[in-house]
């Protein structure tokens, strides 16, 4: 049976591992570069084809996976000049970014009029899981459409959860990131208060690790805090701020008060405003410590 040709846009920390797994599972793969050509060239060396624009990709592919930053980037590659929609070809787009659900649902309706199916399939876990093919995927879309692309999702996913219609995947992702960014803000503040009282991070860790408050996110966060591993969790603070801003917009649209979400967003906003947006999320602990007069 001939496999569908898959396009991939967004060869960043997550995308390069995902694309490599799609290619390794025998799918013809078409990619394009953005700022960094190194991941693209590695894939081309293994048999992927390069194109210069989303439109050129759409002309060759049955399915296109997007793994870009958020809604503005998705709209640019789908509806912008030389975008996917301009190819005027029926295909399926799988949006693995973390986007605003209201923008996703509106885009899906516009694309449906062109014969393009949009599924939102945001990701959980880390770039290491992307490389290992063990990501969590929260996918929104009609059941038959999800079933059709499930073998492609399985190339890079350890778990695939069908959340409901298009837009629900991105909603669930915002809630997932609310929890994880909330943990990051809590850990950072707790560590700062502990240090104010003379408790070393190692002492803090010895109490939490292995107890009821331990979890996978805690462990990657503390690989930076304790081991100073810069690659422990490669997710930028600016992206955490972006996701919390999407959550605030979602809460406002729902007419819901989310004071904890606002507090988490403000912690990330302060770090971004102070020039730490490109730092990875575990490094938020250093910013909170510095802001409270605790220098290394």
Active site residues: 173
User: Nearest-CA neighbor of 102 among 249, 258, 255, 262?
Assistant: 249
Which tokens in the block code for residue 164? 């409901």
State how far the Cα of 245 lies from the Cα of 255, in Å rounded to an integer: 15
Which tokens in the block code for residue 75? 């709209």
The angle formed by the CA atoms of residues 230, 278 and 244, to the nearest 5 degrees, is: 110
State how far the Cα of 115 lies from the Cα of 158, in Å rounded to an integer: 30
Partners of residue 91 on adjacent β-strands? none
Q: Does residue 217 contact residue 183 with C-beta atoms inside 8 Å?
A: yes
Which tokens in the block code for residue 242? 């972006």
Ordered DSSP codes for 132-188: HT-EEEEEES-HHHHHHHHHHHHHHEEEEEEEESTTHHHHHHHHHHHHHHHHHHHHH
Burial label, 136 (beta-carbon count in 10 A; 0-12, 13-18, 19+): middle
- Work out whether strand 92-95 and strand 117-120 pair parallel, antiparallel, or are unpaired: parallel
Which tokens in the block code for residue 228? 């100073």
């Amino acid at each position: 049976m001939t496999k569908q040709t898959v396009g991939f846009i967004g060869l960043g920390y997550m995308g390069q591992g995902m694309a490599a797994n799609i290619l390794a599972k025998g799918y013809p793969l078409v990619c394009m570069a953005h700022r960094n050509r190194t991941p693209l060239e590695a894939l081309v060396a293994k048999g992927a084809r390069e194109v210069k624009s989303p439109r050129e990709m759409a002309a060759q592919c049955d399915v296109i996976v997007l793994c870009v930053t958020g809604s503005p980037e998705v709209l640019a590659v789908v509806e912008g000049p030389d975008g996917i929609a301009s190819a005027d070809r029926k295909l399926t787009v799988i949006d693995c970014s973390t986007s605003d659900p209201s923008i996703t649902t509106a885009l899906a309706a516009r694309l449906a009029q062109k014969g393009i199916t949009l599924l939102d399939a945001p990701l959980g876990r880390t770039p290491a899981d992307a490389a290992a093919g063990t990501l969590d995927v929260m996918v929104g879309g009609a059941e038959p459409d999800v079933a059709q692309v499930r073998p492609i999702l399985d190339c890079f996913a350890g778990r695939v959860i069908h959340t409901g219609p298009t837009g629900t995947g991105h909603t669930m992702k915002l809630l997932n990131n609310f929890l994880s960014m909330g943990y990051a803000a809590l850990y950072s503040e707790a560590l700062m208060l502990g240090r104010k009282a003379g408790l070393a991070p190692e002492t803090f860790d010895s109490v939490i690790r292995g107890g009821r408050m331990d979890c996978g996110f805690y462990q990657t966060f503390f690989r930076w805090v304790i081991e100073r591993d810069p690659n422990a969790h490669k997710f930028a603070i600016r992206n955490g701020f972006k996701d919390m801003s999407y959550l605030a917009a979602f809460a406002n649209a729902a007419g819901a008060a989310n004071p904890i979400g606002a507090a988490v967003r403000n912690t990330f906003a302060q770090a971004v405003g102070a020039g730490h947006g490109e730092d990875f999320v575990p490094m938020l602990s250093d910013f909170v410590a510095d802001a409270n007069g605790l220098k290394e």
